[in-house]
Amino acid sequence: MPKTQLNVRVDEATAEAARQRALQRGVSVNRYIEDLVRRDAGEMGHTFVEAAADFMKQYETVFAEEFGAERKGAR
């Protein structure tokens, strides 16, 4: 995906906090801010749910064979 430059102004304390958090995570400030916005917008959660649904669909029969009898007996 092409990148677009976005300029924002924050106070020095906020800028320093962003630098420190990025450093702690081993990523650039740009990447840190980008990840925050994506999480806030729900993109990462949505991607996770889609991947989990695909996984469950692919292995549905395996789970049914492995755990199906226990579930029936527990009811």
Domain of 60, in residue numbers: 50-75
3-state class (DSSP) for residue 3? coil
| Domain identity same for 36 and 62 | no
Sorted by sequence, the CB contacts under 8 Å of residue 44 that are 6+ apart come out as 35, 38
| Domain identity same for 35 and 59 | no
For 11-70, what is each residue's pLDDT tens digit?
999 999 999 999 999 999 999 999 888 887 777 677 778 888 888 888 888 878 888 755
Tally of domains within the chain: 2
* pTM metric for this prediction: 0.54
C-alpha span between 37 and 23 (Å, rounded): 18
| Domain identity same for 3 and 32 | yes
